[in-house]
Chain A
Amino acid sequence: MSSVQVLLRHHVRLHRATLVPLAVGLAVFEWIMTVVAGQPSVSRFLTSALNAAPPQFLALLNQDQLSIISAQGIVSVGYSHPFALLMMAVVAVRVSSAALAGEIGRRTMDLMAARPILRAAHVTAALAAVVAGLGILAAAAYAGTLIGLVIGPVAGVSALRYAPVALQLWVLFACWGAIGIAVSALCREAGQAIAWTSGLMAGSFVLDYAARVWPTLAPLRPFSLFRYYEPQRVMSAGLAGHDLAVPAAVGAAALLLAYAVFSRRDL
């Protein structure tokens, strides 16, 4: 077994207790969204409530009023709802922060780094853990949608249309995970890494929201990673190249930084 595999198993052991309830919670949430979408009374209530809601509130859900009226739109809300984003964010931040800064802060990194493994292996294993953990959550979200639509089919809603959305959700947060690893490589404590990564993520989310609400800030929207995550547009027009390319490029740059910093720093 390679050192990266050994480290990956270690991360899995440390985080599985958290990952399982998050995945189950997200799957149940997406399943509930299919149930809600399939009930005309609930649909009617949500439609009238959302029609009365200010556009700023709908912008928070990353939806427009027209799309959310449909059953397909209600199911897609499950992928842009703050609950789903928060579940993904928890894994991206927690695993990335714990992998490097957390081990340094707890002084267990000394035990691992005194073994015959390259420092780069720690970064690679952290990336694998983050990507795998987020993949499990994204898959759980999609599984919730799929199971919900199989058990209670909703007219005009196909589970297949949500697969690219789940993929995009995964790529977006994998990018945040890579940023978290870079931050983690620079920090000495998990708390410090969590604060910086969460702060960057929250800032990016607020920038995207503000740019959608206030036209003055609209030119700044491409600078937010959340700009490249639009479930409703992906369902109607499919994935655009930049939806995956921009997060992938940002994530790759963050990883290069992590490799460079972690290979040279004092532990």
Chain B
Amino acid sequence: MADSFPIRASGLGKRYGDVTALEDLTLEVGQGEAFGFLGPNGAGKTTTIRLLLGLLRPSAGEAVVLGKRVSRSVAWRGEVGYLPGDMSYWPRLTGQETLDFLCALSGRAALARAGLLKRLDLGAAELARPVRTYSDGMRQKLGIVQALQCTPRLALLDEPTKGLDPLMQQAFYEIVTDMRRHGATVFLSSHVISEVERVCDRVAMLRAGRLVTVGTVMSLRQAERRRVIADFTDPVDVAALAHFGEIVASGERHVELLVAQDQMPALVARLGMLPLSDLLVERPTLEDAFLEKYR
């Protein structure tokens, strides 16, 4: 099977009795792509990742990862790096022992370990300590190193920057950029929309176990309405602007509207005929798109 799509899910679903955790997920993630997976708590993001890894058995559909059916073999996992959303370790093991053990299980050399440790500022002294003494941030850094130390072709990262300070978040973004430069594919689940917007090419949004939308960050933004804020020198009939979009706030000399992209030229022309003192048009962010989908 062609390997140009490291992740293919078709009709993937997971039920726990009467509860549907994921339903009919069909998705393809391309080679070298950074793919964001967004959704509120309980939307099915972690379930999807665990299905892709074969930790859960699907109730419906199937997943193909790195060209292999997930349920049929395990060798492909050697080329996958996985960072769970809720990192747990063996408390008595040191960081070094943890990395060595997980690397040995992967059956590959930890070629990227030294570089990752340096970038994430984890030194030999920290690695010599039992993991139970680590702060949340250190535990997350160790999680990133264990996931990426064997230079995976595909990284499945669940909430990767949770607990990291801004400097370390920046270091993580650089690591992802470098991975992609070397052709690796990154599947990133996150609550942090700005992070997904910054790192990812394409985004999928899940809601209550169902895929709401998939698209490039740009296309999702463009599909959203712009926020237009206009101030006037004299009182105007702001209600007359309602047919251009949705008025979200208004006063005698002030109006805020949400306007679709195709209505913008007409609105700007109309505003030009009014005693305009100030005009601000805000481009929609991915967060706007996200909030719009989940309202």
Contacts and interface: CB of A to CB of B under 8 A. Distances in A.
Interface stretch (A79-87, A107-115, A130-138, A166-174): A107-115
Given A13-B93, A114-B55, A107 B106 contact: no
Contacts of A118: 74
Interface in A8-37: 9-10, 13-14, 17
A10 B89 CA distance: 13
Interface in B131-167: 146
A39 B97 CA distance: 50
Interface residues of B, number: 28
B104 A6 contact: yes
A1 interface: yes
A108 B57 contact: no
A57 to B, nearest CB: 41
Given A13-B93, A107-B88, 7 more contacts: A14-B90, A107-B84, A111-B82, A113-B55, A115-B106, A115-B107, A266-B56
19 contacts: A3-B105, A9-B101, A10-B101, A14-B92, A107-B86, A110-B55, A111-B82, A111-B84, A111-B88, A112-B102, A113-B54, A114-B80, A115-B105, A116-B74, A116-B77, A116-B107, A117-B105, A265-B57, A267-B56
Interface of A: 1, 3, 6-7, 9-10, 13-14, 17, 106-108, 110-118, 264-267
Contacts of B97: 13
Given A116-B107, A266-B56, A266-B57, A108 B77 contact: no
Contact of B75 (A1, A106, A116): A116
B11 interface: no
B78 interface: yes
Q: Is the interface of A mostly helix, strand, loop or mixed?
A: helix
Nearest to B88: A107
Contacts of A117: 74, 105
Contacts of A266: 55-57
A113 B53 CA distance: 8
Contacts of A112: 102, 105
In this complex, the member of B54, B89, B92, B105 whose beta carbon has the largest number of chain A beta carbons within 10 angstroms is: B105
Interface string B242-265: 000000000000000000000000
Contacts of B129: none
Contacts of B88: 106-108, 110-111
A111 B104 contact: no
B56 A115 contact: no
Contacts of A115: 77-78, 102, 105-107
B146 A114 contact: no
B50 interface: yes
B251 to A, nearest CB: 53
Contacts of A116: 74-78, 105-107
A190 to B, nearest CB: 13
Interface string B65-79: 000000000111110
By Cβ-Cβ distance, the 9 closest A-B pairs, closest first, are A115-B105, A116-B78, A107-B88, A114-B82, A116-B77, A6-B104, A267-B55, A266-B56, A116-B74
Nearest to A113: B55
